[in-house]
Structure 1
């Protein structure tokens, strides 16, 4: 296929773009306005990634998209495309673009900034997928506070006479009191407002952003126990942590899913036990009098992301931990599992992204804030203050170590 003289743009798509958004081929085609090229080494990299438990389902979506758009994709390769040296796959992708004589003015679409630099050194144009960077760390820029009530997002806050006021859909609500949830007293005004969002009946989805040590998970667990065991508004608590590596090895571990997950979620369990000791939460344990406490999965369940994908969750309090390590498609897949009577709290820190295919701006927590800000049943807040987990953590945060 010769494209010389065509006014269409010629996009060459990198692996990380396909993983971040399996529908990127369709988006970049823009009907039939543009041409799509995929280097053969991208297919080789997908072949490797499909065996990665965390990415297997995403790769499957990518492959489906490639098959559905096969007639609109040109795959490019050269004589070295079968090289087994996948650790330098980026070099082979660039070489395949260079040797593709029938592409006029190719544009490499990649979210990999190092690959963008390598491409520029070879005089190959590159750009990010436009839909991959919603805002520069949106979940940090929008703190949950506004300057004035006019056109403010629902469930945001403003300061008035030194006190916070919640701008709920029903009207302004001064927060001059301290929430006491499961004998947990908030240490800062921001923790208090986070509890206000979580315990407000009209708010179905809450996202909380903060650096380590500001008590996101502890607050969410305390609120979960309060709403499930004391107020009985929900029947069960689910905790999902997306970053856990769930693979075949899990099947060899003894016990049920809660026991299999225990090594990966120990800190969640430790926080739960701490809350139990300050106020008994007997129903979440099989036998609260045992020295070795075990979870009662009828009331409290810790699940890997893959288990949630096929579920329909109803009448439950759901905590999604480390949401910054979810991709946009994973956020969509996870939140569409939430049925009637669900309160969902998403926790994260966009400065601690472990997923190699995501970054501080392009991650699940940012997408939640970007897409849901303005809905009447959604709220977001950034936790901050002078006191965090303890004096050593305080020093780390203040010194910006």
Structure 2
């Protein structure tokens, strides 16, 4: 049975090609959505996504009259609904609210099509609650949704016999089938073998578990403080791994390890030509508005966590100030710290790229970033899916979780979930209990 799906603005902003996700059904966009998209083009946070959505709608417009409806691929019938009866809304709801206007449009479509199921698709939680209260069927946009609670950690601990333990310890590798049980490891998953009180580590690569090579390596003065950080360091320092995702709550060392490994391989070892560190510009709480000064001065408040980490690492190396180190590396062209907005449209070869706070990115934005990678480029994405500042993303729909799940079986991709806090006893206590 064909259904009618009415799309809210935030769905098109989240994925400008979301229209094509409703195969063999009718897709309707209220005229108010187009008005909102036009307004969002002036918002620095959503400008690019809004323009992509507008271009997609314009491409469809060229195929026919979108007011009457256009046949698209996958047997999708698309149209823009220009009629709306605001009297369908209860008096308690404001008639000049865009959300309420879209709800009114959906109610009108439902009244005109009593024999068809009409479903409003929106990523706005409050809008879903209001629409449901008014008798509409409403859903989140779930095409790119993953279950964060089932996201793999990137490591596993197994108990083995003395014979297996000794064989691995001596040879440095072992076939999975030799373990005597059926295991379903993902590529680059870390395995901790335990035999009584003894333990040793390995990484699953192409059907075999091979002993870790990097282990206790020091990167720019930083060393791993726990097993999870050792796993992360192994992936960060491996040239064969092109994409690394590090997930964990505040204080687990995600950003610090990524920056340390990047500086080590760019500055000390010369494996890459430069280190590029970027993060999305999304405020926590109310935005401060426009900031005065040069580009660097404007970005400084947003990038301060990056500077703090480099300052800490510089102290570990005995440097007097982190500022001196940062300025020196920037002058030599080895380090670039910038807003994520500037990475679009670029091709970056021979670079070590760190995307911090990646949980605030959509799956489409993450795809855009990954496709920037040129030859001999490594990309590291860090973030905490439990701390999302974007209003239309959650732990299941953000780009970091999506990327980690979708690429988990690829040989050039690695993932580690860091759980143990190392910032301080107070920070660990707050992360657990507050």
TM-score by length of 2: 0.80
Report how far residue 262 of structure 1 moved: 2.1
The question of whether the paired residues in 2 share the 8 Å contact of 1:19 and 1:59 is answered with yes
The question of whether the paired residues in 2 share the 8 Å contact of 1:207 and 1:345 is answered with yes
Match of 2:330 among 284, 295, 304: 295
The question of whether the paired residues in 2 share the 8 Å contact of 1:237 and 1:299 is answered with yes
How far, CA to CA, are the matches of 1:237 and 1:281 in structure 2?
Answer: 19
The question of whether the paired residues in 2 share the 8 Å contact of 1:241 and 1:304 is answered with yes
Matches within 5 A, 1:361-400: 361-385=396-420, 387-399=421-433
Using CA pairs under 8 Å that are at least 6 residues apart, name the structure with larger relative contact order, 1 or 2: 1
What stretches of structure 1 move > 4 A for 4+ residues in a row? 244-250
How far, CA to CA, are the matches of 1:263 and 1:294 in structure 2?
Answer: 20
Q: Which moved more, 1:39-48 or 1:312-321?
A: 39-48
Partner of 2:5: 11
Partner of 1:43: 34
How far, CA to CA, are the matches of 1:379 and 1:281 in structure 2?
Answer: 32
Mind listing any 5+ residue stretches in structure 2 that lack a counterpart? 61-65, 71-77, 88-93, 159-175, 177-182
Report how far residue 395 of structure 1 moved: 1.4
Query: 3-state SS of the aligned residue for 2:222?
Result: coil
Matches within 5 A, 1:228-307: 228-244=266-282, 249=290, 253-254=293-294, 257-279=295-317, 295-296=330-331, 298-307=333-342
The question of whether the paired residues in 2 share the 8 Å contact of 1:155 and 1:168 is answered with yes
Deviations 1:246-279 (A, max 9, x none): 99946x623xx44442232122112212212322
How far, CA to CA, are the matches of 2:293 and 2:262 in structure 1?
Answer: 28
Deviations 1:152-210 (A, max 9, x none): 11100122113332112483223484222122121111111100011012111100000
Partner of 1:24: 18
Question: Does 2:194 match 1:158?
Answer: no
Report how far residue 105 of structure 1 moved: 2.7
Query: 3-state SS of the aligned residue for 1:61?
Result: helix
Partner of 2:166: none
Question: Does 2:61 match 1:61?
Answer: no
Report how far residue 335 of structure 1 moved: 1.1
Deviations 1:32-62 (A, max 9, x none): x211112232223223322111110101111
TM-score by length of 1: 0.86
Report how far residue 293 of structure 1 moved: 7.0
Match of 1:112 among 111, 117, 124: 124
Query: 3-state SS of the aligned residue for 1:10?
Result: strand
The question of whether the paired residues in 1 share the 8 Å contact of 2:86 and 2:95 is answered with no
Aligned length: 379
How far, CA to CA, are the matches of 1:87 and 1:274 in structure 2?
Answer: 51
Question: Does 2:121 match 1:121?
Answer: no
Query: 3-state SS of the aligned residue for 2:416?
Result: strand
The question of whether the paired residues in 2 share the 8 Å contact of 1:258 and 1:295 is answered with no
How far, CA to CA, are the matches of 1:375 and 1:98 in structure 2?
Answer: 45
Query: 3-state SS of the aligned residue for 1:134?
Result: coil
Report how far residue 296 of structure 1 moved: 2.5
Partner of 1:88: 97
Q: Which moved more, 1:98-107 or 1:209-218?
A: 98-107
Cα distance change on mapping 1:136 and 1:267 into 2, 3 Å: closer
The question of whether the paired residues in 1 share the 8 Å contact of 2:145 and 2:402 is answered with no
Partner of 2:179: none
Deviations 1:85-111 (A, max 9, x none): 798322221111222343343111123
Partner of 1:4: none
Q: Which moved more, 1:113-122 or 1:179-188?
A: 113-122
Cα distance change on mapping 1:76 and 1:136 into 2, 3 Å: farther
Cα distance change on mapping 1:234 and 1:280 into 2, 3 Å: farther
How far, CA to CA, are the matches of 1:93 and 1:16 in structure 2?
Answer: 12
How far, CA to CA, are the matches of 2:13 and 2:102 in structure 1?
Answer: 16
Deviations 1:127-150 (A, max 9, x none): 222313122355xx2100246754
Partner of 2:253: 215
Match of 2:208 among 145, 167, 171: 171
Query: 3-state SS of the aligned residue for 1:353?
Result: coil
Deviations 1:275-308 (A, max 9, x none): 12322689x97x65x9x87832611001212211
Report how far residue 314 of structure 1 moved: 0.8
Partner of 1:99: 108
Query: 3-state SS of the aligned residue for 2:185?
Result: coil
Cα distance change on mapping 1:56 and 1:137 into 2, 3 Å: farther
How far, CA to CA, are the matches of 2:124 and 2:238 in structure 1?
Answer: 41
